[in-house]
Every structure is written in C-alpha cells, then in structure tokens.
Structure 1
Amino acid sequence: MSLPPGFLDELRNRVPISRVIGRKVVWDLRKSNQAKGDWWAPCPFHQEKSASFHCDDQKGFYYCFGCHAKGDALTFLKEADGLEFIEAVKVLAAEAGMQMPEPDPRARERSDRRSRLFEVTEAACRWFRLQLQTGAAAEARDYLARRGLDQAAEERFEIGFAPDQRYALGQALREKGFDEGLIVEAGISARPEGGGQVYDRFRGRIIFPIRDGQGRCIGFGGRAMDPNARAKYLNSPETPLFDKGRNLYHMGPARSAVAKGKALIVAEGYMDVIALARAGFDGAVAPLGTAITEDQLRLMWRISPEPIIALDGDAAGQRAAQRLIDLALPMTGPGQALRFVILPAGQDPDDLIKASGAAAMGALLDRARPLVDLLWSREIEGQVFDSPERKAALDKRLADAIGRIPDEATRRHYDRELGQKKWALFGGGGRRPGKPGQGGRKPGAARVVAMDSSLPGEDLLEGASLLICALRPELIAAVEGRIERLTPRDENRAALLFDLLSHSDSPAGQRGLETLRADAHLGLTPSVISSQDADAVAAILNNLLDRLEAQRAAGAELARAEAEIQGEADEGLTWRMQQIARARHRAERPELESSGDLNEDRDALSAQLSGWLSEEIWRKPPRR
C-alpha cells in the first residue's frame, strides 16, 4: 500500500513516541524529565533492572544503551507487537485520529480476501474443537489424558480433532456459506490431482491451531492417531496466510511472557511447547515441522536477544543443533545470540518434566551453553590432535567458521574464547590436560621449555605479573599470548596460570595465589590493582612482561653464545652481546631499572607497586 507524501511525518508529529512506548514500559520518573519529553525506563526488549532505554519526544526516537535497539514509533510497534509495517501505520493512525488513505482497488481486494481466509480458518478451528467432544474422538481424548492434558489444557491451547472422514469439514464449512475456492485456498481442503470432489486435508488427527503474532489462526498442525499413518505430523500447506518457515507455534503468548521477564525457549514440537508452558515456562515456541530457518531466527531475536534452543537428546536433536550453528553464525552479534540446552538422551522436554519435574527443566535451562561452546564441541568431537597438521586443520575449521560472523567485536571475542579452549586442549601436548598436580602437564608445556637457570629478578617479575592478572582478570585478554608463554616451575603458580587462562578455580591455583600474597616483596601490592585506572595497571603489567621476556631472551642468547665461543670472541659475537644489552635496557623503565643486585631490584619494583597498592583491598579475593 502506497502512502501519500508527508502522511508518515504528520502521523509521527501527532503522537508523542512516549505515549506509544509507555504502554509497554514503566518510566523511571527520577531519571526522566517529563517537561522536556526526555524519558528513561528498563528496556522492553531485553531483561534488565536499570533504566538504560531512552525515549526522546522531541526527536521522536528511542534508543537502548544496553541492547542497542533503536527506531521510531512505527519501529517500536513492529518490534514490540510483531506488526507488519502497514498494520503499525494503522495502529498509529487510529491513535492520532487520522484517516488512513484509501488503497488502490486491487490492494483492497487482496486485503478483503485475506480477511475472508481468516474467517475460514477460525470457523475450521471451532469445528475441530467441537469434534473433540464427540464419541468419534474418544481415543483422541484418551491419548491426551495419557499425555497429562486435562480439559483446561485442551481449552488453553484450543486442541481439536479431525474425524477420519473424507468430506465432513468441507461440507460443514460450505453449509456455513463459505466458498469452496476459499476453503481450498486456506489449506483446509485439497483438490485431487485428477479432478473430482475436494476432500478434507486433516483426517483422523488431533489438531493444534497455529496462530500468528496477532492471535489470528493461520493454519493447523495435526498428529495422526493411526500409528501406521504415512506422516505422524501434518501441517497446513503454504497459503496466503501460512508460511511455515516464517512463523512459530505459540508465538503470541510467548512474546507476552518474554516481555514480563520469561526466557524464550525454542523446543521441537507442539507437545513440548505445551508441556513447557504448563510447567511455567510460558515463553516456549516451536518451529513448524521443519528445521529452524533464517526468518524464524530473526523472528526469535525480535522477541528476545538470547533465545534458548532446547533440543531433544537423540541423534536428530544433535543434528539439528549442528545445522543451527552454521545457520546462526553469519547472523549472530550484539543482541542476537543463542544458548543451547541438550536434553538427556532419549528425552524431550515433555518427558523430562513428567519424569523429574519443572525444577529439573529449570536447572538445565540455567546451565544453557553459548553458541561458541557448541561450535567447539562439534569441531573436536571424535578427533585426536596428535600432530601439527591435525591441529592446523582445527585452526582452519574454526577460523572459517568465525570468519562468517559479520560483527567485528563478536568475531574478536569468539577468537579469544576459542583460543583459550585450544590452549587448554593443547597445553598438555595434544590431549585434554588434567589440572596441574592431577596427572596432566603444566600449562604451556607443549609450547615452551623452561630454561634451567633463571636470571636475577625473573621469579619476582613472574610473580608480580601473575598477581596483577589474578586481581584484574579483564586485562588478561590483551596480554593472553604473552602470559601463555610463562612457564612457572612452581606447581601452584602453574596451576594459578592455568586457572587464569581457562576461567577455572582449582585448590592448587588458590594456593599459588596465597603464596604470592604472602611474599614479602609482593605483600605491599596494589591498593589499587582492584580500583586504579585500568590503563595504569595495564602499563605496569606490560612493563613487567617486557622485562621478563628480555631477561629470558638474554639468558637464552648467552647460553648459545657460550656454546659458540671458540677461543677469542669475534666481532659478530661481540655485536650480538651488545644487542642483548640494548634489548634488555629498552625493556627497563627508568624507575624500575635494575642495579644488577637482586635485593635492590626487588626493592625498586616493590616501591613502584606499593605507591598504588593497598593491603586491605589486596587481601580481598580476586574478582573472576
């Protein structure tokens, strides 16, 4: 439908955006300035307690500083209520008291025909509901009772029954005055390919009505009562109302539940959704008999920024998860994430809730895994990484996968997360490592061999570096590659390093941390490692690592030089020794410059750290 120039501008000017949005949010009046049309509220598009959602009546726009949702009043109506553009325009026009422009005759004709198709599907829904109460539906009622559905559940989900009769529904609808062509177009009846009388598409099946986001019946799903039926589930065909790849079962109620703080849970089938909703998980939806499509993913993200995909614990559920990884990666980014729950083998949500209760399902949902975990599991499952070529192949597969992510920041975080997983996997020489002290190699053993001798100050520099990383874990990402190369000879320090890089918390790592705290030269540590400016702390950390790397490089070069000396040193060897000295000097900050004496070096470093560290804050456990 085309709109005349200026119509939308007039529409937006007449209705303050805060009036449209105010029906969905509770304004924070302490933060808002009503006189200036400046409004703040918790965002209706993602779960939060703070008021990060800003609405500006003067500009006519909203923006969320948390999930970055933005737009005008029409955008809000489309995103919050799932309306099509022209439907949002009609809602806003009614609010403004403006008359909608008359559409062209063909557009009006199409709109009228859709309205009649909706009348057909609603009439069929009522007919199916009535049939469930007849004698012919006794077996269907028994089946529903065995599945734990009472009459209240049947009414809530409008469950019906299609008797095993070839013409019953079509005849009933024609008697109500519906045209046979409309009945066929709505997908209720079908024409034989060779011609002849149209017949009912759904026969001998329990019927589940499928409604769109506005609650209108767009089609049906039917479960066969005959165990020998060719298709256990049958959905409506593609019609002007029904596109199975662009809709979700139970979408309207789920969207309302998510707006009230519930999680959006994507199950596999109708009965799973019904079981979840009856157990209190009202934000449950399901695709319509197919694998999840791109359009369905976008629809989910319009409802919630982080849907939970709850898949059956069978082989089909595992395959569905693998397909979804490849579908979602090119679409994922801030505000568009997925989490996964893989149910116990042989169980679907309905089975689990019946066997173990809603609490068991809730516990699984609380432990839902991010998409990056599923990607990692897929790429290493059944693999042995006992050669450089196999490790390189894994690197390539992972790089190809995350290279499809369009958002640069998300790509970077995926790369970092997968890097940590690879470090944990390969840190033990190509097999999954145990934690230090439990039979596995120490972190970094596959990458770096520690030197037999340590130059003065190495132990101090290493300890201070680990200490800062433990207190300020947010700094680790920037120096991850450098601290991976640390090779602590002390087992507890090695365990602490492993914990820092793998986000774990082992007793040995805690012992390493406590040892560093008790060190006489590090005990003066940061009053401000936990509160000082991050750039200042990062500068100290990088300087410590610079010095440590320079000392170790110098030690290695000295060892090689000693082996090369044959008689008197030549000019080349002399030049290399000069370069060693210069490299080490560049790594030394003037205020930390070593005098060559271990005690003086320790005192200089302690003095530098103690200027901004406090014993009280230092004694608190590190944030993780």
Structure 2
Amino acid sequence: MSLPPGFLDELRTRISLSQVVGRKVTWDMRKSNMAKGDWWAPCPFHQEKSASFHVDDRKGFYYCFGCHAKGDVLTFIKESENTGFMEAVEILAREAGMQMPARDPRAAEKQDHRTQLAQVMEESVKWFRLQLKTGAAAEGRAYIARRGLSDAAIDRWEIGFAPDARQALFTTLVQKGFAADLIVASGVCAKADDGSIYDRFRGRIIFPIRDARGRAISLGGRAMDPNARAKYLNGPETELFDKGRNLFNHAPAREAAGKGQPLIVAEGYMDVIALSEAGFQATVAPLGTAVTEDQLRLMWRIADEPVIALDGDTAGIRAALRVIDLALPLLEAGKGLRFAVLPPGLDPDDLIKQQGAPAMQKVIDTAQPMVTLLWRRETEGKNFDSPERKAALDKTLRAALKRIADPSIRGHYGEEIKRLRGDLFGTNARPFAPFTPRPPRAPWQPGQKGKPFQPIAPMASTKLSLLATPADLVQDTLREAVVLAACIHHPGLIAQFESALERLDFIGHGHDTLRSLILYHQSAPDLRALLMTEAPLPTEAVLLHPHVRITAAIGPDAPDDAAEHCLAEALARLQADRAHRLEIADAEDDVTGVADEGLTWRVSKAAEARHSAARGPQDAKGESVIAPNGVELDRDELTRARSLHESIDFTRGGRGGKQ
C-alpha cells in the first residue's frame, strides 16, 4: 500500500514520541524536563535500573546510551511491538485518529465488511465480560477462582461468561443495530435448519481470541457442563478467523519475544494464561487443533527457535511427534524447534501451582533439540538384539532424514544420529550411513589412467557469479524470479497458487524472504509498494532481473490469464526438475547392485513429469489464444501446467512409485 506525500510527516506531528513511549516506560521526573520536551527513563529494550533512555520530543527521536537503540516513533512501535512497517503506521494512525489512505473500491468494501465483523466481535466480548459478574455466572467464577486467577488477570485476559440461553447475545446485538446476517457471519451466533438464529456459546467461560493486530477475531469457550459434547469450543472459520493460521495470545507474545523472552508454545488457553501470569509472556497456543504448517511459520516469524512445552503424558508425547513430522520438511538454517517435556501427569499450569515459576524455567532451560526426540521415538522401548532389527532402525532413520530438504541440516542431523547410534550399539557398531546425495565424480585428466583430475576452486571474485553456479541452480533461480515477479505484478493469482508457493524451497538470494512477505501481505491493495518498503533490495533484484524484464507475460500490463499461464508453468517446471534430481540422487543412494523394477519405474516417472513440464506451447494441440500484448497462450498447455503444479508434491519428500 503506497502512502501519499506528507502522510507520515503529518502522522508524526499529530502525536508526540513521548506520548507513545510513555505507554512502555516510567519517566524519571528528576532527570526529565517536560517544558523542553526532554524525557529520560530506563530503557524498554534491555534490563536496567538507571534512566539511560532519552527521548527528544522536539526532534522526534530517541536514543539509549546503554544498548544504543535509536529511531523515531515508527521505529519504536516496530521494535517494541515486533511489527512490520505498515502495521506500525496503522497502529500510530489509529492512535492519532487519522484515516489510512483510501484503497480501491473492492478492497475498501471488503475491508469495511471485515471492520463490521470485528465490531460485532468486540461488542460480544464486552457483553460476555459483563455476564461474568451476574448471578448466572457463579459456577464460572468458582471455576476461575479454582484455577487461581486474580481479578486483575481476569481483566487482562478479558475473560467472560456465556449464560445458558438460546438468544441472549443475539438479542443484545440486534438491539445495538447489527444485522442478523452480519451477526451470523461473525461466528458468535449460528442459524438452525429451521432458519432461527441461536447463540453459539452457551454455559461456557469465554476467552477472546485476538489476531496479531490485537483485533478480536473469534472466541473460545470452556464448558461448565461435564457432559457437554465438547469441553472446549472455538468459533467457526470466518472472514476474520482461520484457526489454522492464527495463534492464541499472538500479539503480546510477539512483543515479549521481541524483548528477548523465549517463545513458548503451550497446549491450551489456560496453559498460556498460567505461563504468562507467571512471567513467561511470550507464550502462544494453537487454537483447538494440532499445530499446522501456517502456525509453525507464524512461530518462526516471532522467534527462530520456539520451545514446544508439552504435557508429560502419552498424549503430550504424541503431539510432540506430530510436530516433528510436520517440521522436518520445513527446517532451514537458523529455524528450529526445541521440546520441553514436563514431568508425567503435569501441565504447565499444574507445575507452576505446585512448584512455582522456577520449576517451569528449569524445564524450559533443559528443552531438548528436535533430533533428540526423533531418536527417542525410534528407539525407546525397543530391542535391537539382532542385525535385522538394527537394519530396520537404520532404514527408518534414513527415511526420516530424507524428508529434510536443507542439505546442510540433513548432514548435521545425520552426524548426530550417527553419534547416538554409536552410544546405543557401542563404538564397534557398523557405522550409520545417513542419506546424503552423492557428490559428482571428478572428471578424469586426459592422458592419465586411474587418477582423477582435481578441479581448481573458483577465485573469490567469481564465487558469487553464474560461472561458479551449477547450471540447474541457475535455471531454478531464473524461474523463481519469474514466479515472484508474477505474484508481485498480479497479486490476485497468489491465493490460487498459495499451497504450491508455501511448499516450494526458494534458493535464490532473498527469494525465500520475499516469498514469505508476499504470502503474508497478499491481500494488501498495493503489494509492490509495500514490498519495496519492507524488502527493497530483494524486490528490486527480482523486478529488474533481465529474464523477468523480457518475460512480457508477467509484466504489470499483461492480462491475468497470461500471467496465470506463465506462473503455473514456472512452478510446474521447478517442481518437476527438482523432483527428477531428487529421484536420481535417491537412485544413486539405493543402488547396491542391479537396479530393481521399482527403482527404474520411479526414475522413469520422474523423467516423464520433467519432460511433460518442459514441453512448450508449440507441443500442445489445443486451441491457441493471442493475448493483447502478443503473448500466445494455449488452453491445453495452461490446463496441463495447472494439473502439474497441483498434483506433484515433490518438495515435501513425496515421490511417485508403484503401490
């Protein structure tokens, strides 16, 4: 979204820096001089007792003489609340009472509807909070008291109560002027088969669910009736709420993690509340489901190494193992998980109540890396007293390591598994050979028999050039640039190809960061301007890439169907080429003698997919379409490219084979 000239300047003049910073600090009035706009306080970005954080209201800048943090009001919001630039602008504009620049009519209409849904949610939260103070909520208040929550904690978490009445909330919202269809669309009420509308939450303690911007987007309810069909109930998926793409306590946890606290992932609402009240504010929880890929990516945006805190029972361990299976294909350098396994029979709330916050801190400090739990899953409670059982273990571990896409991480996992295997079987055990693609054999020196020729390493000046890059990686990087440029110029296509974009491993410099921003801001009205603000270097590199500039089908003036064809074809070719290389690497690793039928079948199928994706429009026999900009499109080719990108799932380790 582009901002008009002067908008930021006016925004900065509408509200003073000290007013914004004052929400986060306690001013040292002995050192401050309000008349001159000179303010001092302990720094909010690092722990200290002295007032070394200086705010100059006249110039609009702050500086810490301890940690050297500095910036203006927007920088302060970004750093203190761990937000992006545009989100910081929206927060400041809302506080200053300024309207954000107008968007295109369709986007504005959609945004207005979402705003109305958010208003319904906020009114519902207020009403439920009032109900907690009524006589009908006596049982709910008793339950909250048993969980050890103070009145201040109840207010902080905006806990409410839903009376056991069919239309109590619905009637209240209608009286406030909200349309029945809007109330149902928000998810707080539902429509019965006979057309009548009823309250979705009845006889439950209510926990508001807020998004990363702090807006109420849904509700969670804990049943008071032990015979209720569901102990915990979340609101349905709406325009505001997607349970697989949100986290409970997202915004406060993001802010706390930005100040250095470890991100903790708990199981439910009460675990998050108990941990936060005990001092672990950077705590989130999935919303009634197992952790999803989107939630895992959200966690990695908040912190590089979230700590999964799980109950010490069988169900908790199973949940940890599910997270491991989900995370293995997504691992990348610097992004990992650690697992804090609690004592048997205890959840975080129980542990804190019985032994205090230091006991929970000890559990977090001793959190285990993911490779350790992977090893425990395959070895605990099992007997390896025969060569066959040891070989079965090796096969299982190699299969798990194959799912790791990053070759460096896969290699380090293999080394750790080898070490653990040596500890289990003894130093004389047969070495474990982790899955690693075999390096290419060195070419032979002409005229010399039996001695390989050692290639000369590239000079420092050419290491980053195309001369030192394998041809297949160069081709992949070019296609990645086409994919990203198509998404930037034609953001309406992102939702259609979202799953393929999420699964694809981008290898070009800055491409992975740009992909993440594109997916996160795909609904932004001016995606290109936003990307130029948040990631100017990768965005410019992609849009100014020579290969992109000569590809007319993805330009800003190209028709959407031309860009769709080009994007689908580029994705299909990327997936097929990488799948083919992976099958060849697997084949080299599997072949010990004569290749069996299954092996040759897999390789042939990968080759077929690769050749199918590589066929140009001239090979198709369907109807051709000439776009206004002269790009020739083929309907059969477009259909084939779409089916390829939807059906091939090579990047997550899946490969075709006989059943």
* TM interval, short-chain normalised: 0.5 to 0.7
Pair 1:444-2:443 in alignment? no
User: Counterparts of 1:216-615 in structure 2 under 5 Å?
Assistant: 216-427=215-426, 443-444=427-428
Name the aligned partner's letter for residue 252 of structure 1.
Answer: A
In the alignment, which residue of structure 1 is the partner of 2:29? Answer: none
Name the aligned partner's letter for residue 116 of structure 2.
Answer: R
Deviations 1:485-524 (A, max 9, x none): xxxxxxxxxxxxxxxxxxxxxxxxxxxxxxxxxxxxxxxx
Residue 81 of structure 1 and its aligned partner are, at CA, apart by 5.6
Instruction: Tell me the distance in 1 between the aligned counterparts of 2:404 and 2:82.
Output: 26
Flag the 1:336–1:204 CA change in 2: closer, same or farther, 3 A.
Answer: same
In the alignment, which residue of structure 2 is the partner of 1:137? Answer: 137
Pair 1:111-2:111 in alignment? yes
In the alignment, which residue of structure 2 is the partner of 1:210? Answer: 209
CA RMSD, 1 decimal = 3.8
In the alignment, which residue of structure 2 is the partner of 1:170? Answer: 170
In the alignment, which residue of structure 2 is the partner of 1:465? Answer: none
Name the aligned partner's letter for residue 215 of structure 1.
Answer: G
Flag the 1:79–1:419 CA change in 2: closer, same or farther, 3 A.
Answer: farther
In the alignment, which residue of structure 1 is the partner of 2:125? Answer: 125
State percent identity of aligned pairs: 62
What is the DSSP-based 3-state SS (H/G/I as helix, E as strand, rest coil) of the residue aligned with 1:203? coil
Instruction: Tell me the distance in 2 between the aligned counterparts of 1:392 and 1:89.
Output: 58
Instruction: Tell me the distance in 1 between the aligned counterparts of 2:130 and 2:91.
Output: 34
Flag the 1:77–1:323 CA change in 2: closer, same or farther, 3 A.
Answer: farther
Q: Is the 8 A contact 1:79 1:302 kept in 2?
A: no
TM-score, normalised on structure 1? 0.56
Name the aligned partner's letter for residue 125 of structure 1.
Answer: V
In the alignment, which residue of structure 2 is the partner of 1:437? Answer: none
Residue 320 of structure 1 and its aligned partner are, at CA, apart by 0.5
Gaps of 5+ in 1: 24-43, 48-73, 428-442, 448-624
Flag the 1:253–1:398 CA change in 2: closer, same or farther, 3 A.
Answer: same
Q: Is the 8 A contact 1:11 1:93 kept in 2?
A: no
Instruction: Tell me the distance in 2 between the aligned counterparts of 1:394 and 1:79.
Output: 47
Deviations 1:208-267 (A, max 9, x none): 001111111111100000000000000010001111111111111111111112111111
Residue 84 of structure 1 and its aligned partner are, at CA, apart by 7.8
Residue 333 of structure 1 and its aligned partner are, at CA, apart by 2.2
Residue 274 of structure 1 and its aligned partner are, at CA, apart by 0.8
In the alignment, which residue of structure 1 is the partner of 2:453? Answer: none
Deviations 1:420-464 (A, max 9, x none): 00111111xxxxxxxxxxxxxxx33778xxxxxxxxxxxxxxxxx
Flag the 1:303–1:8 CA change in 2: closer, same or farther, 3 A.
Answer: farther
Instruction: Tell me the distance in 2 between the aligned counterparts of 1:230 and 1:296.
Output: 26
Flag the 1:115–1:388 CA change in 2: closer, same or farther, 3 A.
Answer: same
Residue 147 of structure 1 and its aligned partner are, at CA, apart by 1.0
Name the aligned partner's letter for residue 281 of structure 1.
Answer: F
Instruction: Tell me the distance in 1 between the aligned counterparts of 2:10 and 2:143.
Output: 55
What is the DSSP-based 3-state SS (H/G/I as helix, E as strand, rest coil) of the residue aligned with 1:218? strand
Aligned pair count?
Answer: 382
What is the DSSP-based 3-state SS (H/G/I as helix, E as strand, rest coil) of the residue aligned with 1:406? coil
Residue 105 of structure 1 and its aligned partner are, at CA, apart by 1.6
In the alignment, which residue of structure 1 is the partner of 2:179? Answer: 179
Q: Is the 8 A contact 1:163 1:203 kept in 2?
A: yes
What is the DSSP-based 3-state SS (H/G/I as helix, E as strand, rest coil) of the residue aligned with 2:273? helix
Residue 191 of structure 1 and its aligned partner are, at CA, apart by 0.2
Larger radius of gyration: 1
User: Counterparts of 1:51-200 in structure 2 under 5 Å?
Assistant: 87=87, 102-192=102-192, 194-200=193-199
Q: Is the 8 A contact 2:308 2:337 kept in 1?
A: yes
Flag the 1:378–1:291 CA change in 2: closer, same or farther, 3 A.
Answer: same
Flag the 1:191–1:46 CA change in 2: closer, same or farther, 3 A.
Answer: farther
Flag the 1:100–1:148 CA change in 2: closer, same or farther, 3 A.
Answer: closer
Gaps of 5+ in 2: 12-16, 22-43, 48-73, 432-659
In the alignment, which residue of structure 1 is the partner of 2:514? Answer: none
Q: Is the 8 A contact 2:217 2:241 kept in 1?
A: yes
Residue 9 of structure 1 and its aligned partner are, at CA, apart by 12
Instruction: Tell me the distance in 2 between the aligned counterparts of 1:412 and 1:10.
Output: 52
Instruction: Tell me the distance in 1 between the aligned counterparts of 2:365 and 2:242.
Output: 32
Instruction: Tell me the distance in 2 between the aligned counterparts of 1:283 and 1:308.
Output: 10
Residue 13 of structure 1 and its aligned partner are, at CA, apart by 14
TM-score, normalised on structure 2? 0.53
Q: Is the 8 A contact 2:80 2:259 kept in 1?
A: no
Flag the 1:400–1:446 CA change in 2: closer, same or farther, 3 A.
Answer: closer
Instruction: Tell me the distance in 2 between the aligned counterparts of 1:283 and 1:116.
Output: 30
Instruction: Tell me the distance in 1 between the aligned counterparts of 2:279 and 2:111.
Output: 38
Q: Is the 8 A contact 2:80 2:255 kept in 1?
A: no
